[in-house]
Amino acid sequence: MSAIAVAVVFGFLVLFPLRLLIGDWYSSRVVTLLDDGTTEERDEVALTEASLPRYVEAEVMLRKAAGLMPLNARYQKAVADMDGKLARWVEVMGLMKAPVPAGAHAAAGMYKQAGMLLHRAIELDPTNADYHLAMAQFAGEQEQNSTTMDGELKRAAASYPINSNLRLAIAMQYLLAGRNADALEQARTLAAIDDSYIYPASPGKSQIIAGRPPWYVARLANSNLCRAYEIAWRATNGDAMVIRDMTPNVPEAHHAMALFLEGKGIEE
């Protein structure tokens, strides 16, 4: 190896930890910058005309972090998310015929940047289901490209097939896109893999299930199984038979089904 090559490798090894450290500093600075100081929790301040300068500064910091660590998919995705959020806000301002404050860029340009960065994030981390889901949502909402959306949703599902929250997001995206058959298919799969409604085994489980206390009913109502029912209901224009057919054969699931159908005015 030549002296020049050795110097290049040595320089990279020396600078890489420093670049990583600075990139992480920018990222943590964004969290602090966008924190809502009116609450005790670490939550993000709403994007308004007053907070816009903070968001613009945060976007610049995230870009610096991504520039320092161009092979870090997380930073590429973070910039894409920020550009998308700013673009949507500018778009809403335009629909309201409100003047766009200084410092805000055109929505079209930011959407384009967001799409490019999402593609880059997927290239760097092709098995990340969240990135494929984000790209599918972008393709469906901004590009009006149902083919790309469908492909990315399938890749997302294949990346993490047993994750019920991901399956719920995929089903919702199909439903929002008007692809009811695909939404129903995903809802069926969600009903089959979700276990959030199942009460853990315990000595008093049978009595609890039989008594159906309020907290148990709330557990059923807030489960992904009931969310799957809602998607299937909308996808089939209220076909109760579909709801019954997709219900797993366990007591809690039958209670969840009855609870859902009762909410639709159908007694079981």
User: What is the model's pLDDT at position 14?
Assistant: 41
Phi-psi region of 178 (alpha: psi -120 to 50; beta: other; left: phi over 0): left
| Token duo for residue 202 | 């315990």
Per DSSP, 44 falls in state B
Q: What is the pLDDT of residues 122-132, one digit of tens each?
A: 999 999 999 99
Burial degree of 68 (CB within 10 A; 0-12, 13-18, 19+): buried
Which residues in the chain show pLDDT less than 50? 1, 5-16
User: What is the model's pLDDT at position 18?
Assistant: 57
Q: What is the pLDDT of residues 158-205, one digit of tens each?
A: 999 999 999 999 999 999 999 999 999 999 999 999 998 998 888 888
User: What is the model's pLDDT at position 212?
Assistant: 86
User: What is the model's pLDDT at position 23?
Assistant: 64
User: What is the model's pLDDT at position 85?
Assistant: 93
User: What is the model's pLDDT at position 9?
Assistant: 41
Nearest to 217 by CA among 177, 245, 259: 259
User: What is the model's pLDDT at position 95?
Assistant: 85
Give yes or no for a contact between 72 and 124, defined as CB atoms under 8 angstroms apart: yes
**Domain ranges (residues) in the chain:** 180-268
